[in-house]
Structure 1
């Protein structure tokens, strides 16, 4: 279940800044006094209703199109029913924050609390746009033409979209991976030393620079992923927000009722899509438990491998479609074990003969292909059994850095990389369970490193090591 609590230091800092901004807006509003309270209450009611109708899109993205449209529209409105919109940015922040909090209560009571990042983004983006819009509308653009206002509002709406997706990317890239506690490296208290050897200093600086570039690349990849995932929703929200801001002058508060109709239709379609996708994923997850129930694998093995594989995939900057294929492949990667006459000890393929591992992968891929819609997933499942070094020197190889076919398959580079990730995640999980204990993860990591460049993709091993160290 999602939590309202921040999940990292970055999240905590942003949450604290948002709370301080809200308190400052409350103080400013108390000093200046609220204006046009009837209009504020109507907008607040629409925002609250929109938040109460919030839906969760695939991959856990919270979305409330009605609330977002009403909140951004309230920040941009310059006239309402022929009268100037005299409210300040502080009033916008207070109204949106309180309405979002009230609207979230039914969702919380239903066990679907919004993520901390979602609320921070909603308040922060709306407040930033309101600060710009209210300052300009009360200043040099107070007598602007309709065309100038259209350009201004359209530009601000586009900025809001970019800011919202950028903040979502920040929260995604700075969130702690959802891994089992068994993968954590115990903290060892050491006395920090200052390296004096110039070679050590240069090596340390190089590692820091590489880490910074990696974080920037992860952010840019995540930002692009967020933009692609919301491409069907956010532009409609932006366009309707601009329409609300411009049409509020002749239509008054009726504009909210008119604008709500297409939003509710879109939200109904999104809810149906999310329900179908959720049912599909639940079916895959239920199917992945067959090996557990039959005694071929340890309980929860597929889910743990899936979480670890997805964390590695995000660390390497995989896109959303590739992550979805990786998720399904990780959940179904052991289906082939059902064809074995006798279960493997502990269900661990890492210690099984290569011929058995290849048979398990091939039989599992054959089952997955029977669905008729998971061909890419089947290729990933089948390719997981082949060592990374196999075919690595072929000229047509590519595995993220020009190693196509490094797993001996004919799949794309994304499928090759997914198979490499799946093999590392599965073997790491098997090794951790083989010798449970406080140092199981360190021993497993050492075993994985022995196969770096031979059995395992070095980039995947490096990503796993970063995750294990960071968590």
Structure 2
């Protein structure tokens, strides 16, 4: 979770931060293609079968964790093909693997592009490089092998080599993804790498096991294996898509609730979204986990819900003009409303303390989440700099700086200072 995402359009936001990845992927793919053209493709039936699985997997990819496109079937098929013919792979074999994966990926994304669905060219480039890494590691671990002979004991070295290849692919993708997140969202690299490794453990494990099953099954029984192994992969895909659908439902519900304060005049148009955008930027800078980032974004969007219980709207939605008692009462009411959803309890806790002064709140109570302080600072900055306020970022930072240690969390204010210094604009 790194911010608000539009899942209905083609994703081109990676192009700025992913140029190096695209160039590297294109260079690897082109070199592999030229080598393959020179030596020709061997075992066409396997190349077509696995290439078809990769293309289909690309067509049915989905968005998860806010901004990450995943294609479990395509990834498992690509890794399975990389380890299909035993670990004694020659450079032309590795080039053929990269070529088949690259061409099949491009074939798969064409229908998505034509239909106007989201696809991520950088993620596709990352997959090509990860598969190349898996093939190289796989053949380097056991350079000579007699292949599969039906004996599990004698075949264990090949299985271990497969697992190492899958692990190498996952770590490679995680390192590239962490570097990309650091550049795009200004997340600390250790935090970005931690997030990528967590996702690798959650989603990558299923894809890696699928790849091993595809490679081992096909090596033992031929092309009868892929249709059988694809069934659990389809179930995995279905489960992931259900999770992604639940995420979208939550986001839609939260956005609808957030708009209610704008309709009633208790916040200015777009105020909640701007506050959430800034809160997410601060959360990225502080390296919060994806789960905490999601709760932070929801809390920022819903931070003004409790104002609906007040008698009159604040002029221009400026809740800072309210007395402290009114703001804290509104926060408590808002938290109670959110709690009634039954699924956003952590969000409610953030909102409940979002108007607590730092000196009397988190400074003396470590149980108050830092996300509450982030929402407090983000809302104050938005009301000072947002539409119709007229203050410059420097002037707003000066005003907020006067409240460091008393009203605002010093760690959060320092994070905001870094973000503003990097040219943040609503």
TM-score (norm: length of structure 1) = 0.81
- Please state if 1:423 is matched with 2:369: no
**CA distance in 2 between partners of 1:161 and 1:6 (Å):** 20
- Please state if 1:100 is matched with 2:100: no
For residue 436 of structure 1, report the CA deviation from its aligned partner: 5.0
Does the 8 Å CA contact 2:279/2:297 hold for their aligned counterparts? Answer: yes
For residue 103 of structure 1, report the CA deviation from its aligned partner: 0.8
Q: 1:129-144 residue pairs with structure 2 within 5 A?
A: 129-134=134-139, 139-141=143-145
| Ranges in structure 1 where 5+ consecutive residues have no aligned partner | 178-214, 398-403, 405-411
Figure out how many residues of one structure are paired with residues of the other and give that number. 410
Q: 1:242-297 CA distances to partner (integer Å, 9 max, x unpaired)?
A: 12222222211222111101000121122122212211221111111001111221
Indicate the residue corresponding to 1:46 in structure 2. 53
Indicate the residue corresponding to 1:457 in structure 2. 409
- Cα distance change of structure 1 residues 280 and 352 upon mapping to structure 2, 3 Å threshold: same
**CA distance in 1 between partners of 2:206 and 2:223 (Å):** 20
Does the 8 Å CA contact 2:32/2:95 hold for their aligned counterparts? Answer: yes
SS at match of 2:63: strand
- Cα distance change of structure 1 residues 5 and 232 upon mapping to structure 2, 3 Å threshold: closer
- Cα distance change of structure 1 residues 86 and 115 upon mapping to structure 2, 3 Å threshold: closer
**CA distance in 2 between partners of 1:306 and 1:468 (Å):** 15
Q: 1:142-181 residue pairs with structure 2 within 5 A?
A: 145-176=154-185
Q: 1:137-166 CA distances to partner (integer Å, 9 max, x unpaired)?
A: 7x4346684121111111111222222223
For residue 56 of structure 1, report the CA deviation from its aligned partner: 1.4
Indicate the residue corresponding to 1:37 in structure 2. 44
158-167 vs 377-386, which deviates more? 158-167
Does the 8 Å CA contact 1:5/1:116 hold for their aligned counterparts? Answer: no
Does the 8 Å CA contact 2:54/2:104 hold for their aligned counterparts? Answer: yes
For residue 135 of structure 1, report the CA deviation from its aligned partner: 5.8
**CA distance in 2 between partners of 1:4 and 1:88 (Å):** 32
For residue 3 of structure 1, report the CA deviation from its aligned partner: 2.3
- Cα distance change of structure 1 residues 172 and 393 upon mapping to structure 2, 3 Å threshold: closer
Does the 8 Å CA contact 2:53/2:73 hold for their aligned counterparts? Answer: yes
**CA distance in 1 between partners of 2:136 and 2:192 (Å):** 27
For residue 342 of structure 1, report the CA deviation from its aligned partner: 1.7
Indicate the residue corresponding to 2:120 in structure 1. 115
Does the 8 Å CA contact 1:334/1:361 hold for their aligned counterparts? Answer: yes
**CA distance in 1 between partners of 2:185 and 2:206 (Å):** 32
Indicate the residue corresponding to 1:446 in structure 2. 398
| Ranges in structure 2 where 5+ consecutive residues have no aligned partner | 1-5, 149-153
**CA distance in 1 between partners of 2:63 and 2:420 (Å):** 29
SS at match of 1:239: helix
- Cα distance change of structure 1 residues 79 and 391 upon mapping to structure 2, 3 Å threshold: closer
For residue 237 of structure 1, report the CA deviation from its aligned partner: 1.4
Q: Aligned-residue CA RMSD in angstroms? A: 2.5
303-312 vs 245-254, which deviates more? 245-254
**CA distance in 2 between partners of 1:448 and 1:142 (Å):** 70
**CA distance in 2 between partners of 1:7 and 1:346 (Å):** 37
Does the 8 Å CA contact 1:296/1:343 hold for their aligned counterparts? Answer: yes
For residue 37 of structure 1, report the CA deviation from its aligned partner: 2.4
**CA distance in 2 between partners of 1:7 and 1:440 (Å):** 31
For residue 435 of structure 1, report the CA deviation from its aligned partner: 5.2
Does the 8 Å CA contact 1:107/1:113 hold for their aligned counterparts? Answer: yes
**CA distance in 1 between partners of 2:139 and 2:400 (Å):** 57
SS at match of 1:175: helix
SS at match of 2:69: strand
Q: 1:347-386 residue pairs with structure 2 within 5 A?
A: 347-386=317-356
65-74 vs 379-388, which deviates more? 379-388
For residue 312 of structure 1, report the CA deviation from its aligned partner: 0.8
**CA distance in 2 between partners of 1:161 and 1:358 (Å):** 46
SS at match of 1:171: helix
Indicate the residue corresponding to 2:78 in structure 1. 71
**CA distance in 2 between partners of 1:341 and 1:425 (Å):** 25
For residue 359 of structure 1, report the CA deviation from its aligned partner: 2.2
Q: 1:107-162 CA distances to partner (integer Å, 9 max, x unpaired)?
A: 2233333224311221110112123335667x434668412111111111122222
SS at match of 1:252: helix
TM-score (norm: length of structure 2) = 0.89
Q: 1:182-214 CA distances to partner (integer Å, 9 max, x unpaired)?
A: xxxxxxxxxxxxxxxxxxxxxxxxxxxxxxxxx
- Cα distance change of structure 1 residues 425 and 392 upon mapping to structure 2, 3 Å threshold: closer
Does the 8 Å CA contact 1:36/1:86 hold for their aligned counterparts? Answer: no
**CA distance in 1 between partners of 2:124 and 2:383 (Å):** 39
